[in-house]
Structure 1
Amino acid sequence: MVRKLEGPTTNVTDLELSIAKNPNLQKVYAITVVTPMFGGGYLAGQIDTERLVRTGTVRGQLRFWWRATRGAAYENVYELRKREAEIFGDTSRPSCIKIWIEPTSTESTSKIHFPKYALYSAGKEVDAAKKSSVEHTIGHTFKLHIIYKQPFDDITKSMDLEEIERKEIEPALWAWINFGGVGARTRRGCGSLFCDGISPTIDNCTPEHFLSWFDKHIEKYELKLLQADQSRDWPTLSNQIKTRSRIEEIKDAWHEAIEAYRLFRRRANQEKGKPRPGRSHWPEADSIRTITGMAHPKHNKKYPASKPEKLISFPKAQLGLPIIFEFKQQMDEDKELSYEERRKRRHWEKEPYKTQLVPKGKDRLASPVILKPLSCTPHKSLGIIAILNQPRLEGAELKQNDRIVKQLGTKEIYPNVSYDNNPMQDNKKVYTSAVEAFLNSKEVEKFCESTNLKRY
């Protein structure tokens, strides 16, 4: 016999009803969405206004953050998946936790607009998502119900449910609430969450106390964090975290984090008297020109001039893939030329065609950089930049029209080169890690101490 609990959207058995009567085996968490969601519905890039947060989505998030927290203690994927199956189930055994979502409010309480760069390259769904998300998701509250049920197979029937809650689920829940979110683009702060009792208090959210609060939870949950130069075959939480110098309104902290990242990734020559930046200080554009043999006459010399000749380097691959490179095909100077003069140019005297950089053998690689407002109330937060330890990227492919034009290895992805205005170096050292270069950049320094936004 199956009966339906009042409120939840999922059917549960009589056994689970009896388990639910034991308060030690059932937990309920009231959670608030504090930044607009992007996606999360049954259509890519769109929200479902009737059911903003889905049970399956939350279960997937808890599994991800379980791997990111508890997972570092396992040496290989086999050991990880064995333990994960014991907790969350697989095709051969049921899960020992049952979760469901009970929506309690769908009315938006405020308007916070997406920072432009948070949805950069997110696709054609962006415009529609911006309007519907801002109208429906901020301030949406829901209850997460978790029932811990005793497994009945020979392998896991002796598992202590309270230990599972304390050591396995609570760390994943803590990390998800504070460093993750709901929907897509959560690593860019979309769909960020607040939960009283799991989110830090205002006192713990100050720059002076935040890292202590973080370390206490790592100790409480007995988590093993890897060093910056270590990784597993899956992303894991690290203690590489940068914070703002003060608690702010959620929208301000969010915009500051995104702006620091945008400015770092878009470092370019700023010519006097011109509103738009000029040629990039990053090596990718000139590398593509070298590989394809194509360049506008204005760009047929490397920039900056101190850059090594015919350098092929793609360090931004470490920050997430794919990356799409679209070159400006008509320069301002070309407007003064006649049609015949422009037509006479050889194909190699034009800028390269649209080019895409993808991880070898895959379609995408999620960024290890988390940029978000970590909320201490539904309206106040501490802006953070946090890093996930991810496996080293062993290869990438440069494509034009789905055709591979260049295979890239670690030498090109983790370059060790020096030249003027190189974003991968500062006055102290040359970095081979783009993540490390970002954490030590002038943009992150400003993020921590003052502001990157032109608003004060």
Structure 2
Amino acid sequence: MMFNRKPSAESSVNCPDVKKIENHKPPIEPIIRNYRLITPLMGGGVKAGENDSNFLIRPSSIRGQLRFWWRACFGGSHQPQSHDALLADMFARESALFGKAADSQSSGASAVQVEIEVINSGSQFRVIAKNGQEVKISAMNSPYGYSAFPLQDKQNASVREGIEFKLTIHLKSAEQREELEKVLWAWQTFGGIGARTRRGFGVLQALDKANHRFAFANKAELQQHIRAIIGNRSYWPNGVPHLAPTMQLRLIKPKPNQTALNIWADLLRCYKEFRQQRNDGNQPNRPGRSRWPEPDALRRLTRQRSRLHEQPLSTIDAFPRGEFGLPIIFHFKDSDDPGDSELRLQANHEFSQQKGDRFASPMLLKPVASTGQLFGLIAVFEGSTLDGRQAIIKNRRITAAAVIIDVSESQARTIVDKQRRPMLTNPSIITSFLETIEE
């Protein structure tokens, strides 16, 4: 049997005093940035090439971008070390900031937490061709078509413009703040959000006064900022794209009243004209034969040649445009020419019949906003080269064949335009392209 008894004053419970917590650390002030996209957003959702109406800007995507740009700024070392030691050092420092897979030693949690608030979801991007008609962004007569070609075969492809969002980054220590602010500057200057950022989609403009400390008005000031961030890091793991004070740069001042979209279209036009050097066609709506060596090299490789192209324009068995990035799809329209062929980087050092790997272009091309100023920017990563590696070509007649990308100095001189002028000033096709750009 249980009895309820009211406690007397003598039997009341005495609670211990609660001690005040001393030396309580104030919360770390987050980094807050507001951004506007000055070129349209391609993709960015779960499905490639599609916008996600529920998560237009994904925190996981931005964290991935920041991780890439941290490597591009801070992945190097001040001291010479073996390749494995450089990789291990970079991974340890990167993991301390951005996390890693959990193991018995730690949870692997990231010290960087990203929050996104979309302020303006923008609207569907409309493209008007020179004839005044609205066309798909990937159309041949679109000013941006040369960058948007991955969308040609996508039925649900969508791009949006006018997007604005607020980015909040929470850190675990104040020491991480300075490093992350530099990474943010590199991302907003050289990178973007979504797909095809190296060809000008998803370009960011920072709307905060905090970015004035990183403003630049010419190439020398831009190089100065890069030098201040990189410091004396001179040793990088192989294959890690990174910024460098000596990297190839072109910073082009816009013409009067040019918008970011105008600048972007001009850069793409220059790039297209260089990559698509052709003879004048003899038939309406036919642009003529390519002056580059790849088509004739493919014909020799497959032992298949169109009756219209009996006489080769090039005798070089190389694929130099692969330096701009891989894969490349070669499409022949004549029935007696080789079928569609795909050029990819060799998957490993030993030749194999595998599909091969991608090689992300080391060159980026985009408009860039430095506070209130607009420029056209072309930049080439250090540490991102083919380094003489082979590539593989595949089509219906050959399962896979090893080919080379690089051309020699003597071969470069034989690649000429329709006026018989050399198209390459040296064996590097990217360097040759940059020398056609006036700043």
- Shorter-chain TM-score bucket reads 0.7 to 0.9
1:359 Cα deviation (Å)?
0.8
Q: What is the aligned counterpart of 1:165 among 157, 169, 177? A: 177
SS in 1 for 2:249: strand
Per-residue deviation at 1:170?
A: 1.9
Alignment equivalent of 2:148, drawn from 119, 130, 138: 119
Q: Which residue of 2 aligns with 1:5?
A: none
- Deviations 1:208-233 (CA, angstroms, capped at 9, x unpaired): x3223313322442445769xx9832
CA distance in 2, matches of 1:402, 1:59: 43
The whole-number CA distance in structure 2 between the counterparts of 1:164 and 1:402 is: 55
Structure 2 distance, partners of 1:142, 1:46, is: 18
With 55-64 and 381-390 compared, the bigger mean Cα shift is at 381-390
RMSD of aligned alpha carbons: 3.2
Say yes or no: does 1:214 pair with 2:218.
Answer: no
Give the counterpart of 1:372 among 363, 366, 375.
Answer: 366
Corresponding pairs, count: 374
Of residues 234, 244, 264 in structure 2, which corresponds to 1:254? 264
- 1:124 to 1:241, Cα distance in 2 relative to 1, 3 A: same
Q: Is 1:301 equivalent to 2:294 in the alignment?
A: no
Unaligned ranges ≥5, structure 2:
1-23, 103-107, 129-136, 138-143, 348-355
Distance (whole Å) between structure 1 residues aligned to residue 296 and residue 277 of structure 2: 14
Question: TM-score normalized by structure 2?
Answer: 0.76
2:117 is aligned to: 102
Aligned residue in 2 for 1:312: 317
Structure 2 contact 219–250 (Cα < 8 Å) conserved: no
Query: Secondary structure at 2:289's aligned position in 1?
Result: coil
Q: What is residue 346 of structure 1 aligned with on the other side?
A: none
Residue pair 1:397, 1:404 contacting (<8 A) in 2 also = no
3-state SS, counterpart of residue 118 of structure 1:
coil
**Displacement of 1:369:** 1.4
Question: Residue 64 of structure 1 corresponds to which residue in structure 2?
Answer: 68
Matched, 1:279 2:289: yes
1:244, distance to aligned residue in structure 2 (A): 2.0
Deviations 1:57-108 (A, max 9, x none): 0000000111111123376322211211111111132222222212222234
Instruction: Give the direction of change, closer, same or farther, for the CA distance of 1:109–1:283 in structure 2 (3 Å limit).
Output: closer
Post-superposition offset of 1:276: 3.7
**Does the aligned pair in 2 maintain the 1:199–1:376 contact within 8 Å?**
no
Percent identity at matched positions? 29
TM-score by length of 1: 0.74
Which residue in the other structure is 1:13 paired with?
Answer: none
Residue 357 of structure 1 corresponds to which residue in structure 2? 343
8 Å CA contact retained: 2:390, 2:402: yes
How far apart in 2 are the matches of 1:70 and 1:377?
24
Query: Structure 1 residues 122, 234: closer, same or farther in 2, change over 3 A?
Result: farther
Who is 1:4 aligned against? Answer: none
1:422–1:292 Cα change, 3 Å: same
| Distance in 2 separating the partners of 1:242 and 1:272 | 36
Q: 1:415 to 1:199 in 2, by over 3 A?
A: farther
Letter in 2 for 1:269: N
Per the alignment, in what secondary structure is the counterpart of residue 175 of structure 2? helix
Matched, 1:391 2:403: no
Q: Structure 1 residues 225, 314: closer, same or farther in 2, change over 3 A?
A: farther
Q: Which ranges of 4 or more aligned residues in structure 1 deviate by more than 6 Å?
A: 198-201, 425-429
Structure 2 counterpart of 1:3: none
Higher helix share: 1
Structure 1 residues 29 and 200: alpha-carbon distance in aligned structure 2, compared to 1, 3 A threshold: closer
Matching of residues 5-84 of structure 1 within 5 Å: 22=27, 24-73=28-77, 76-84=86-94
Choose 1 or 2 for highest CA Rg.
2
User: Aligned partners of 2:240, 2:252: CA distance in 1, in Å?
Assistant: 28
CA distance in 1, matches of 2:425, 2:399: 30
How do 1:413-424 and structure 2 match up within 5 A? 413-416=406-409, 417=411, 418-419=413-414, 421=416
